[in-house]
Amino acid sequence: MSNPHKGRTGIDRIIHAAGYSMSGLKAAYTGESAFRQEVWLLILATPAAFWLGEGWVQVSLLLGSLLLVLIVELLNSGIEAAIDRVSFEIHDLSKRAKDLASAAVLLALLLCVGVWGAALWQRFMA
């Protein structure tokens, strides 16, 4: 049995996929305060990454760590939305899934803080 929603190919598929992605980013920005905060952190920190980073590798790591936080936040929000779609009832498995997704965001944030902390340390203490 084939999925009727998987019929697009080539450039048509790419155009529609880009539209779905933009809808997802818009939904996350308008509906998720954590995502909005992280987007503004990325916007404000981007010039600092170019100032702080010594070469393209460090700049890439600084900006990449911020983008990773956004990516994980999007996945976390998707998991939460899917669970809430099924039921708002409190269930051990629903709690576990949401807690695991939240833990992933925490780890991404800790990685980001570590990368930025190391760059700041190198810039000012070394």
Extract the annotated binding site.
13, 20, 32, 34-38, 73, 80, 89-91, 98-99, 102, 116-121
Q: Under DSSP, is residue 18 helix (H, G, I), strand (E, B) or coil?
A: helix
Which residues, other chains included, contact 109 with Cβ-Cβ below 8 Å and sequence gap of 6+?
69
73 catalytic residue (yes or no): yes
- d(CA 89, CA 95) in angstroms, rounded, equals 10
Q: How many residues does the chain have?
A: 126
**CB-CB contact of 41 with 66 (8 Å):** yes
Q: How far apart are the first and last CA of the chain?
A: 61
Binding residues for a divalent metal cation: 32, 80
Say which of 28, 58, 65, 73 is annotated catalytic: 73
What residues are labeled active site? 73
